[in-house]
Structure 1
Amino acid sequence: MAKETIAGLAKRLGISKASVSYALNGQPGVSEVTRRRVLDLAEELDWYPSASARALSRSRAGAVGVVLSADPLLIGTEPYSMALLAGIETVLAEGDMALMLRMVGRDPAQERATYERWAGERKVDGVLVFDHLLDDPRPALLDRLGMPFVLHGAPETGVPPAFSGTTTDHAADAATIVEHLHDAGHRRIAHVSGPHRFVHEEERVRGVRERAAAHGMVVVQYEADYALLAGHDAVMTLLRAREEPVTAVVFGNDLMAMGGLLALRGLGVRCPDDVAIVSWDDSLHCRLASPSVTALSRNPGTQGRVAAGLLLALLDTGLVQAESMPHSELVVRSSTAG
């Protein structure tokens, strides 16, 4: 059977096409009785209005864009990213908005080209931006394109925001980890971070270094890329160094922590008796590992929901606002409880 049209619904009900359109799109201009009649008939016929037609009527695309500049294989295995996207999708679904996701690898030109194409073709109403960069060119680009955006995970600065976003107190997270390791007796630790081109990693590195220095602790810094193999290689390098060995390793995410555990196992090093491990992200990986891994619980699902909510509010009101994420909690497990 051919799909019913708005004109067909109007004819069945004996009302105008405009009244049907107003009722279906939740717009004023019809009584509640008429709106109910239209919606009941649409439900009876299992009929939904065309998404493209609705978008045109609202002068919106009805979609939000996300461009992820990372290896797609890494994103697909990283619980943090998956939980973050799930939180975003939850809010967008409630607002009857679609999520347009693009994975462009590590080429910044591809990310820029995606934003330009979306803006030119009016594919999305706004975008969520992740991994704030040092001297990040994206806010200026999106402003030039007239593309509303929300930046997720910027550090807290204490000044009014120039654009909407979520903020995180990375120094507080760093202090939580370092205090735990200090209380456990560690005095020489390693910090295997993500790429330093990210503002949040710069903040984490600074936070770990400063809190450790306050306790007279030594921090050996190692820059990696969040992958399982990177965590493995970091531990192999750190433990084979001729310098005094570290007694604990802080990893920038759970995948690197798992790689570190595998390296310790291969070297015959006991965790936590010889080397303790902490992950900056908690996940099922950390809970099921042997030994289970102490980790920061940062609730990426909630972060995704807040970021998406800020973008929808920006689209509706034009209001620029920042929302601080709750402080992370350290879930202490066997990897530091020796």
Structure 2
Amino acid sequence: MQHRVTIRDVAARAGVSAGAVSLALNDRPGVSEATRRRIVEAAGALGWSPNLAARSLARSPGVHTIGMAIGRDAVGMGLDAVHMALIGGVESVLAERPCSLLLHLTAGPESEIALHKQWWQSGRVNGAVLIAVAPEDPRIAPLHRLGMPVVAVAHPDHSGPFPAVWSDDGAAITEVVRYLAILGHRRIAHVAGPATLGSSRVRATAFEAGAAELSLEAARSVPTDLSARQGASVTRTLLAGPDRPTAILYDNDIMAVAGLAAAGELGLRVPEDVSLVAWDDSDLCRITWPTLSALSHDPFAFGAEVARCLLQLLDTGHAESRVHGTPVLVPRGTTGPPPRRS
């Protein structure tokens, strides 16, 4: 566990008293300019700033500030309704204490690690929510060394020493594969998320296992960046092939909508020629024509459970990993039996 920098550490590095550090950093008289500069340099070198979170706790016990970093690439593609609902669910629970959520954009794992280190050592946060967790995620070991309370939005196989909150995506994928097989589909494709993302790997593994169990033909999972552009591109490639799938499952709603448009461009009818299923039953799924069959879940309630898990960890020093719900298939207008010629 990494030592949390305190005012005494700054004082020792600058060769002054803790009182002098307080005077200098609060811009009060009582120290010379040379001493003030030395103190500021020492604080900067140690990554320390006045402990705002501790001051808040001293005034109001039980009040916490929770940090959450979001990658700029996710924002670049547009934070979808699922992300926003998850954040809203977290905030709905924090507001009951009252506590606050501190959001920040980061450029990658190294940037996020540095941000959490600065937040923790300066006392700006009391804990954090870790999202978009990857297998062997490079953020986990450094954050664990900090000693900062963290809850990971991830399957526990990928959360390391941190408690995890996850939905049973594997069971949901299995349900979809069996449903499509019952309709008569033998060639099913999965347009997945990045292979580096933990949730994508869980879904892809479950898809391949379900297809193998049912002895389905040419079932394959294709990784993407979850964008509409790649969703459309992969759909065109799949449907233009000699053994095109008769059903496609997408890892989000945006790619499914793009896939629906791509099928139309190729002159294929949905669901007569190809069936489509979306992950995330959003408004987008209900305004397409035909309306998209989708896996429905409650990201707001999921976010609330994430917040409850982290507050339990802060209050008691311990929280168990927990599964929160299994997405449920909602069949609509884009699924039906495969074409007879298949």
TM-score range, shorter chain: 0.7 to 0.9
Q: Which amino acid aligns with 2:148?
A: M
Q: Would the aligned equivalents of 1:195 and 1:224 in 2 still touch at CA under 8 Å? A: yes
Going from structure 1 to structure 2, the CA distance change for 1:163 and 1:71 (only over 3 Å counts) comes to closer
Show the counterpart of 2:304.
305
Q: Would the aligned equivalents of 2:276 and 2:292 in 1 still touch at CA under 8 Å? A: yes
Report whether the alignment pairs 1:114 with 2:151: no
Show the counterpart of 2:263.
264
Q: Any gaps of 5 or more consecutive residues in structure 1?
A: 1-49
Report whether the alignment pairs 1:237 with 2:202: no
- Which digits, 9 at most, give the CA deviation of each residue in 1:145-167, with x for residues without a partner? 1210001131579xx98422213
Structure-1-length-normalised TM-score: 0.78
SS in 1 for 2:302: helix
Matches within 5 A, 1:162-177: 162-177=161-176
Q: Any gaps of 5 or more consecutive residues in structure 2?
A: 1-51, 338-342
Alpha-carbon distance between aligned partners in 2 of 1:87 and 1:141, rounded to the nearest angstrom:
27
Q: Would the aligned equivalents of 2:228 and 2:254 in 1 still touch at CA under 8 Å? A: yes
SS in 1 for 2:326: coil
From 67, 83, 88, give the equivalent of 2:90. 88
Alpha-carbon distance between aligned partners in 2 of 1:315 and 1:122, rounded to the nearest angstrom:
14
Q: Which amino acid aligns with 2:209?
A: E
CA shift for structure 1 position 71: 2.8
CA shift for structure 1 position 53: 5.0
SS in 2 for 1:336: coil
- Which digits, 9 at most, give the CA deviation of each residue in 1:36-84, with x for residues without a partner? xxxxxxxxxxxxxx998533435887311111123313242x1211111
Going from structure 1 to structure 2, the CA distance change for 1:211 and 1:155 (only over 3 Å counts) comes to farther
Q: Would the aligned equivalents of 1:52 and 1:61 in 2 still touch at CA under 8 Å? A: no
Alpha-carbon distance between aligned partners in 2 of 1:91 and 1:61, rounded to the nearest angstrom:
12
Going from structure 1 to structure 2, the CA distance change for 1:258 and 1:190 (only over 3 Å counts) comes to same
Q: CA RMSD in A?
A: 2.3
Alpha-carbon distance between aligned partners in 2 of 1:173 and 1:96, rounded to the nearest angstrom:
35
SS in 2 for 1:305: helix
- Which digits, 9 at most, give the CA deviation of each residue in 1:259-279, with x for residues without a partner? 111211222211111111111
Show the counterpart of 1:222.
222
Matches within 5 A, 1:24-39: none
Any runs of at least 4 consecutive aligned residues in structure 1 with deviations exceeding 6 A, and if so which? none
Alpha-carbon distance between aligned partners in 1 of 2:74 and 2:300, rounded to the nearest angstrom:
21
> Across the two proteins, how many residue pairs are aligned to each other?
284
Please identify, of 172-181 and 56-65, the stretch whose mean Cα deviation from structure 2 is larger. Answer: 56-65
CA shift for structure 1 position 184: 1.2
SS in 2 for 1:94: coil
Alpha-carbon distance between aligned partners in 2 of 1:79 and 1:183, rounded to the nearest angstrom:
31
Show the counterpart of 2:192.
193
